[in-house]
A and B are shown apart, each in its own frame.
Chain A
Amino acid sequence: MKNKSYQLGELEELVLMIVAILQENAYGVKVMDEIFDQIGRKVNISAVHTVLDRLEKKDFVTSYMGGASSERGGRRKRIFKVTTAGSKAIEYVHQTRNELYSKIPKTVLGFQ
Chain B
Amino acid sequence: MKKKNPPTWALSMLEFFCKERYLEQIEGDLLELFYREESYRKARRKFGWNAIKFFRLRYLKGLDDFEQLTTLAMIKNYLKIAIRTLLKQKSYAAINIVGLAIGLASCLLIFMYITHERSYDNFYPDVDRMYRVANGERGRFTPALLASTMIKDYPQIESATKLNGLGDGNFLIDNINIIQDGGCWADSEVFKVFEMQFIAGDPETALAEPDNLVLTESLAKKFFPDQLAVGQVVELDGDPVKITAVVADPPKNTHFPFKFLMANPNDPNDTYNWTGNNHWTYAKIREGVSPEEVTEKLQELYTNYVGQEIIKFSGHASFEEFVTDYPDRYYGFTLHPVDRIHLYESRFSMGPRGDYKNVIVFTSIALFILLIACVNYINMSTARSAIRSKEVGIRKALGSYRKNIISQFLTESLLITFLAILFALAVAGAALPYFNELTGRIFDYGDLFSVTSLASVVALLIVVGLFAGAYPAYIISGFSPLKALRGHMQQAGKKGLRSGLVAFQFAISIFLVAATMVIYQQVQFMLSQNLGVNIDQTLVMYNGRQLDTKYDLFKTQLEQRSDVLLVTKANGVPFHGFGDWTYQIPAEDNRRTAPLNSFVSPGYEKVLDLEMVEGRFFEEGRTTDTSAVVINEALAKELGWNEPLGKKLARQIEFSVIGVMKDFNYTSLKREIRPMIFRYGNANSEVGMWHQRYILAKVNSPDILKTIGEIEELWDQHVSDYPFDASFLNESFQRQYEAERKFGQVFTTFSLLAIFIAFLGLFALTTFVLQKRFKEIAVRKVLGASVSSLLRMMIKDFTRLVLIGGFIGIAVAFYWLENWLQDYSYRIDLSWYLLALPVLLILVLTWMVVSMKSYKAAIANPSNALKEE
The residues of A with any CB-CB pair to B shorter than 8 Å are 27-29, 44-47, 49-50, 53, 65, 68, 71-73, 75-78
Contacts and interface: CB of A to CB of B under 8 A. Distances in A.
B68 to A, nearest CB: 27
Given A49-B26, A53-B22, 18 more contacts: A28-B25, A28-B26, A45-B29, A45-B33, A46-B56, A49-B29, A49-B54, A50-B56, A53-B58, A71-B31, A71-B32, A73-B31, A75-B27, A76-B24, A76-B25, A77-B29, A78-B24, A78-B25
Contacts of A77: 25, 28-29
Contacts of A75: 24-25, 27-28, 31
Interface string B547-586: 0000000000000000000000000000000000000000
Interface string B41-65: 0000000001001101011000000
A45 B50 contact: yes
Given A29-B33, A44-B50, A44-B53, A50 B58 contact: yes
Contact of A49 (B22, B24, B36): B22
B30 interface: yes
Contacts of B33: 29, 45
A76 B54 contact: no
Contacts of B25: 27-28, 49, 65, 75-78
A76 B28 contact: yes
A27 B27 contact: no
A47 B36 CA distance: 20
Contacts of A53: 22, 58
Contacts, number: 60
Contacts of B6: 73
B733 interface: no
B54 A29 contact: no
Contacts of A46: 50, 53-54, 56
B24 to A, nearest CB: 5
A88 B50 CA distance: 33
Contact of B29 (A27, A50, A65, A68): A27
A28 B23 CA distance: 13
Contact of A73 (B28, B50, B58): B28
Interface string B7-34: 0000000000000001011111111110
Given A46-B50, A46-B53, A75-B24, A29 B35 contact: no
Contacts of B56: 46, 50
A58 to B, nearest CB: 13
Contacts of B26: 28, 49
Nearest to A46: B53
Among B24, B27, B54, the most chain A Cβ lie within 10 Å of the Cβ of B24
A30 to B, nearest CB: 9
Contacts of A76: 24-25, 28
Contacts of B22: 49, 53
21 contacts: A27-B25, A28-B26, A28-B29, A29-B33, A44-B50, A45-B50, A45-B53, A49-B25, A53-B22, A65-B24, A72-B28, A72-B29, A73-B6, A73-B28, A73-B35, A75-B25, A75-B27, A75-B28, A75-B31, A76-B25, A76-B28
Contact of A29 (B24, B29, B59): B29
Contacts of B32: 29, 71-72
Contacts of B29: 27-29, 45, 49, 72, 77
Contacts of A29: 29, 32-33
Contacts of B50: 44-46
Contacts of B24: 65, 75-76, 78
Contacts of A78: 24-25
Contacts of A28: 25-26, 28-29
Contacts of A47: 53
B65 to A, nearest CB: 16
Contacts of A65: 24-25
A29 B31 CA distance: 10
A7 B31 CA distance: 33
A23 B29 CA distance: 18
B58 to A, nearest CB: 6
A45 B25 CA distance: 11
Contacts of A71: 31-32, 35-36
Contacts of B35: 71, 73
A18 to B, nearest CB: 15
A16 B32 CA distance: 22
Contacts of B36: 71
Q: Which 4 A-B pairs have the closest CB atoms?
A: A75-B28, A28-B29, A46-B53, A78-B25
Contacts of B31: 71-73, 75
A69 to B, nearest CB: 8
Nearest to A78: B25
Contacts of B58: 50, 53
Contacts of B28: 28, 68, 72-73, 75-77
Contacts of A68: 28
A73 B27 contact: yes
B64 to A, nearest CB: 17
A53 B58 CA distance: 9
A47 B56 CA distance: 10
A53 B56 CA distance: 12
B792 to A, nearest CB: 71
Nearest to A70: B35
A46 B49 CA distance: 10
Nearest to A79: B25
Contacts of A49: 22, 25-26, 29, 54, 59
A9 B525 CA distance: 85
A76 B23 CA distance: 10
Nearest to A31: B29
A45 B36 CA distance: 14
Interface string B591-609: 0000000000000000000
A47 to B, nearest CB: 8
